[in-house]
Amino acid sequence: MWVFGYGSLIWNPEFPVAERRIARAAGWHRSFCMRSIHHRGTVRDPGLVLALDRAEGAHCDGVAFAVAPGAEAETLAGLRARELISSAYLETTLPLATAAGEVQALAYVIDPDHVQYCGGLDLEDQARIIARAAGGRGANRDYLWSTAAHLAELGIADPDLEWLAERVRALAG
């Protein structure tokens, strides 16, 4: 069983991992396009979390995780509890390109028809939301900074996330 990490799963998978590979999902991009009302924000003051948003010609680089043998059922249950806390994500299987060949991986993508979907926000608006929001798993800015740092460590460029990380640092003082 493979799982695609493109946000917090990269640095906090919360399941036993047998193998990690840099992977690319074609036709999708990583985007702060989901209002977070649980983990990184509240109903009264939503934050933003990353989601895979469909985009023709785009791609998202992240990490494909092979789940440790025997831990598949437990992993799936844990992922569903974490990722499907609301119905804004859709659970799907995506083909991922890796240096060692293609894998089919479980992935959580945004439902563009869901009320929490907010694709198209400009980066400055995203930065202002992320700088102030916090939820059950902590400050929204910590989620951004950790994701940006881990992408950089892996050599995965994401200019929008890099810009957001710097802008949120400036806003946070």
End-to-end CA, the chain: 42
Please name the residues in contact with 138: beta carbons below 8 A apart, sequence gap of 6 or more. 40
Q: Is the separation of the CB atoms in 160 and 123 below 8 Å? A: yes
- Catalytic member of 14, 72, 83, 91: 83
Rg (CA), the chain: 15
C-alpha distance from residue 85 to each of 97, 123, 155 (Å): 28, 26, 31
Q: Is the separation of the CB atoms in 9 and 3 below 8 Å? A: yes
Reply yes or no on whether 72 is catalytic: no
Residues marked active site are found at 83
